Amino acid sequence: MANILWTLLYFFLVVDVAFIVVAGIVFTYFLFASRFMRSSPPVPTVGKVKQGMLNAVEEYIKGKPHANVVDLGSGWGSLLLPLAAKYPQHTFIGYERVRLPYIISRFRARKLPNVHIYRQDFFTADFSDVDAIMCFQLAAIMQKLLSYLRQHISKTVRIYVNRYPFKDLIPLEKISIEGDYAVYYVYDIKPDKSVHQHEAILKSGEWS
């Protein structure tokens, strides 16, 4: 009897240690992958916010003959893939710079010819023909992002932003699901080719 108890104790100890080691490796990976939180970790949009954002994007694109929809930092593909499966007539583009979520999202999208996921910094992407954007990034980069988008879009673009808003832009809508924690914002961004504003922000380094 004592032997069985010792074996069980030993077993649970090994399982616990293994769990702690694996969790530590995963945590460290994401910490490094997101460069010590200077850019957002691959945490997906989930729950009611995810459903709300997906419904809102659907409402926007469903009447259009064709739309290009971008997810900025597409992670595991949790926003892009359900929309792409439902709307084969539209094109869904993801930019993701961390290798693991990029590979997994590419794999998950393998049967969806209307999905294109690139392992690329979205600050180098071409937004000239984009109709709608989804975004879940840290507050620290939102101003730089707004500036970049204004410079690189060529028509008004609808953007759905999870949690961290653009400070200097009034949203069309703010949808609060649970206070300021579970919330998303809807904006229309207009092109603004004024180089000065963008360069000033980049040079200040404040949001880099």
Ligand X SMILES: C[S@@+](CC[C@H](N)C(=O)[O-])C[C@H]1O[C@@H](n2cnc3c(N)ncnc32)[C@H](O)[C@@H]1O
Question: Is beta strand 173-178 parallel, antiparallel or unpaired with respect to 115-118?
Answer: unpaired
Q: Which one of 68, 81, 97, 166 is in contact with ligand X (CB under 6 A)?
A: 97
Cβ proximity to ligand X: between 33 and 114 the closer is 33
- In the region spanning residues 122 to 141, those forming contacts with ligand X, defined by CB under 6 A, are 122-123, 136
Comparison of 75 and 165: residue with beta carbon closer to ligand X: 75
Q: Are 114 and 82 in contact (CB under 8 A)?
A: no
Pick the piece of the chain touching ligand X (CB under 6 A) from 97-105, 108-116, 148-156, 177-185.
Answer: 97-105
Site for ligand X in 154-183 (CB under 6 A): 162
Q: 34: exposed, middle or buried (C-beta count within 10 Å: 0-12, 13-18, 19+)?
A: middle
Return the residue of 56, 67, 69, 78 that touches ligand X, per CB under 6 A. 78
Helix or strand or coil: residue 159? strand
HSE, CB side, 13 Å, CA atoms: give it for residue 171: 17
Radius of gyration for the alpha carbons in the chain, expressed in angstroms and rounded = 20
Chain residues binding ligand X by CB under 6 A are: 39-40, 42-45, 71, 73-75, 78-79, 95-98, 101, 121-123, 136, 162
